[in-house]
Chains A and B, each alone.
Chain A
Amino acid sequence: MVTELLIKLALTAFFILGLVLNFAGLLTWVERKQSAIMQDRVGANRAIFQIHGWWARPINFVIRKIAGLGLLHPLADALKMMAKEDFIPAQGQRLLHTLAPFVSVFFALVTFAAIPFGDTLNVGGRAINLQIAKMDIGLLYILAMASLGIYGVFLAGVSSGNNYAYLGGVRAAAQMLAYEIAMGVSLLGILIWYGTLELQQMVRLQGGTWFGWIPRWGVFVQPVGFIIFLTAAIAETKRVPFDLPEGESEIIGYFVEYSGMKFGMFFLTDFVETVLVACLATTLFFGGWQVPYLYADGWHLPWGAAARLPHLAVVGLQLASFTFKVAGFLWLQMLIRWTLPRFRFDQLVRLGWKGLFPVSLANIVVTAIVVVALK
């Protein structure tokens, strides 16, 4: 029992601290650098510190190299956030105002429990399922937790005692409502196809190939569902082009009255949700940890070649595959964030209710007919 618990803790530490939060922290760097490179700029590269003393020369050399890439900026950001005054407006409600960022980041982080990041690991006579919590309702759990995240945002808007923040919270609620439904309905198609809500099971069903060379990934059976899901999920992260709840520089969002680390937590929530969307898109539509043509015993390539691989190498490749796919989706989301201009609010709501929602319904009908016909 205790061993089980320790294993779960180790898994949590590996996945949440090692992968998710690292990705989320690095995303601040990626955001700066990728946008710069896309726009023919150089990007942030000025944050630097040096240690005095002759003995520190090799350390300083390494620091200079890292700083030249702009990698010390996340550190400077964190220091700044912690050093800033934590301000609660006089008109605000103290408890709710403090609670809101915690609610926001909590529901973003617990969502990762259901996401499988690897196949079963057999080590020391013990089979470890590389997933923090095996739930039969995994997908529903994720959707439910993602929807609860709105409470943090809305509480922040309401408890700030600021009309602009209030309006930002209301905009956030309207937007989340419009896109949450389209997102849920778009996932029904893939649910009908695989017939399970458990994400590990869903990923296992995406192993193997059609006609010997097309991987059985969800995106090939649900391309429309994938596009709707990605659009709605990006809208859920509240980033450009769907950043009307925030709109830091122009329209004033729900976190206008937040400063210091509490603002940092809202900021972190955005990045954690970005990682979540990447993880979900990978798990549901791009085969999760599956590597094309890699099976439990090794490679089986379409032209008949085969190579045996030890179990640990296979699991390592699957972990690398999951990380690589997630990183790819993070790159894509950053690309979208720095390419598309912001929607107008009526356009945004119209796209959610009149565009994505009907199309996702049609997608369900077509999927259901195809599934019944194939049986």
Chain B
Amino acid sequence: MSKDLGELFLHRIRDAKKRRELSWWEKIYLREVARGLWLTSWHFWRNLFLHIAHRVGLFRDIPASVTIQYPDQSRETSPRLRTRHRLTQREDGSPRCVACMLCETVCPARCIYITPKEHPDPNIEKMPASFDIDLGKCVYCGYCVEVCPEDAIRMDTQIHTIAAYSREEMLLHLPELLNPGSTTRQGNSPLPAP
């Protein structure tokens, strides 16, 4: 059995390397050209009809193209997608982060900078005095989310536009991380709803 199977695979490999012999109709190329032109012209007339129909308000539910016109429309993204970071808050609005430095330690790009300080509540060990993420370095691996024992950092803001005009603007500070999109970073305003 195993020998037969091996032979079969050998044949398969050998046959795959051989080029299929073209038939006479394929060799003169005309029929194949006609078939190709038929396919593309079918797409052309169908899409042209739909584009015109959309203009007058018909068949709006059938898309005429697969294009997402990016700055005007944005794509539906999966909630699992790793997008820009945010820091979760306690009920009183302070960060859940206890400045344990695990994320800063695990970060392979070394883009997280935490300065810890004492928390006024003696039950909580520490809190971040500052928490900066340099998006210019971040590789979006999600290790910080994975490693956090307090569920204090998440990557679920669905913000993909991280471009900025300077390196300083690529640095996210604590207020921006706590309330994503609240502070105006140039070139980083959230997209208008499609």
Q: Which positions in A face B, CB cutoff 8 Å?
A: 34, 36-42, 227, 335-336, 338-340
Q: Is the CB of A38 within 8 A of B44?
A: yes
Q: What residues of B have a CB within 8 angstroms of the CB of A42 in the complex?
A: 65, 67, 69
Q: Is the CB of B65 within 8 A of A40?
A: yes
A37 touches which of B30, B51, B69 (Cβ 8 Å): B51
- CB < 8 Å A-B pair total: 41
**Whole-angstrom distance between the Cβ of A337 and the nearest chain B Cβ:** 10
CA distance A42 to B66 in the complex (A): 8
Q: Is the CB of A340 within 8 A of B65?
A: no
With known contacts A39-B43, A40-B66, A42-B65, A336–B37 Cβ distance under 8 A? yes
Closest 5 CB pairs of A and B: A42-B67, A339-B40, A37-B47, A38-B44, A339-B36
With known contacts A335-B37, A340-B33, A37–B48 Cβ distance under 8 A? yes
Give a binary string over B5-47; 1 marks a CB under 8 Å from any A CB, 0 the rest: 0000000000000000000000000100100110111011001
Q: Other than A227-B30, A336-B33, give 7 A-B pairs with Cβ distance below 8 A.
A: A37-B43, A37-B47, A38-B41, A339-B33, A339-B37, A340-B33, A340-B36
Q: What residues of B have a CB within 8 angstroms of the CB of A38 in the complex?
A: 40-41, 43-44, 47
Q: What residues of B have a CB within 8 angstroms of the CB of A34 in the complex?
A: 44
Q: What residues of B have a CB within 8 angstroms of the CB of A36 in the complex?
A: 65
Q: What residues of A have a CB within 8 angstroms of the CB of B33 in the complex?
A: 336, 339-340
Q: What residues of A have a CB within 8 angstroms of the CB of B51 in the complex?
A: 37
Q: What residues of A have a CB within 8 angstroms of the CB of B39 in the complex?
A: 339
CA distance A106 to B66 in the complex (A): 41
Q: Is the CB of A37 within 8 A of B44?
A: yes
Identify which of A36, A335, A339 gathers the most chain B CB atoms within 10 Å of its CB: A339
A335 touches which of B30, B41, B65 (Cβ 8 Å): B41
A41 touches which of B30, B37, B66 (Cβ 8 Å): B66
Write the chain A residue with the least CB distance to B42.
Answer: A38
**Whole-angstrom distance between the Cβ of A38 and the nearest chain B Cβ:** 5
Write the chain B residue with the least CB distance to A34.
Answer: B44
CA distance A340 to B67 in the complex (A): 23
Q: What residues of A have a CB within 8 angstroms of the CB of B48 in the complex?
A: 37
Q: Is the CB of B40 within 8 A of A335?
A: yes
Q: What residues of A have a CB within 8 angstroms of the CB of B69 in the complex?
A: 42
Write the chain B residue with the least CB distance to A332.
Answer: B37
17 pairs of residues in contact across A and B, judged by CB atoms under 8 Å: A36-B65, A37-B44, A37-B48, A37-B51, A38-B43, A40-B43, A40-B64, A40-B66, A41-B65, A41-B66, A42-B67, A42-B69, A227-B30, A335-B44, A338-B40, A339-B37, A340-B33
